[in-house]
Amino acid sequence: MDSWADIEDAILARRAADGDERAFATLVRRHGGYLLGFATRLLGSRSDADDCVQEALIVAWRRLPDLRDPAQVRAWLSAIVARKATDRLRSARPTTRIDDAEPVATAPRPDEAAITSSQLDSLRAVIDSLPLEQRTVWLLREASGYGYDEIAREMGISGTAVRGRLARARATIYQRMQEWR
């Protein structure tokens, strides 16, 4: 096929899952700009976003056979990028020079740091356990600050569906994070 531009995402995702590199390259070209913008909004850095998207695409290539709904490949790719961005944010080292750092007395105590780390681990586990559609909507809204209409456009669903998925995601997160309140 000479023209891949008119082929639906679902067909490209199925072909890519079967090892078709050209189909995967078409998906990357089609959604790469969005994924880069999404990662940049999450990370606040274009260079970090580039690395994050590259890592996510490697994971996506390997896991394409696991994709349940090929028509939702963009949302699936967004969720992988969001996870990679979260990993990057969590592992980021402070860039403050020692001379500019605040006095040690204001640093969190080790027990407070451990509690915060445990809370973040729990939150990540809860977010990762959400169904893909809910997780993607929640990440787009809460992590990226997208509006309901923007999310609806990006995911190809109605605003009502966005609100419903977001409400279910928030309810699940609220319920499962009760021990940390």
Which pTM value belongs to this model?
A: 0.56
Q: What CATH number does the domain located at 1-93 have?
A: 1.10.1740.10
Tens of pLDDT, residue by residue over 41-77, are: 877 788 888 999 999 999 999 999 998 889 889 889 9
Round the average pLDDT of the chain to a whole number and report it.
82
Q: What is the 3-state secondary structure (H, E, C) of 28-94?
A: HHHHHHHHHHHHHHHHCCHHHHHHHHHHHHHHHHHHHHHCCCHHHHHHHHHHHHHHHHHHHHHHCCC
Tens of pLDDT, residue by residue over 146-156, are: 788 888 887 78
- Pairwise pLDDT comparison (90 vs 55), residue with the higher score: 55
The pLDDT value recorded for residue 2 is 47
Equal fold, 1-93 vs 108-181? no
Are 64 and 24 in contact by the 8 Å Cβ rule? The answer is yes
Whether residue 4 is predicted with pLDDT greater than 60 in this model: the reply is: yes
Q: What is the mean pLDDT of residues 123-142?
A: 84
The pLDDT value recorded for residue 103 is 53
Domain ranges of the chain: 1-93, 108-181
The verdict on domain 108-181 having CATH code 1.10.10.10 is yes
The tally of CA atoms less than 13 A away on the side-chain side of residue 170 is 11
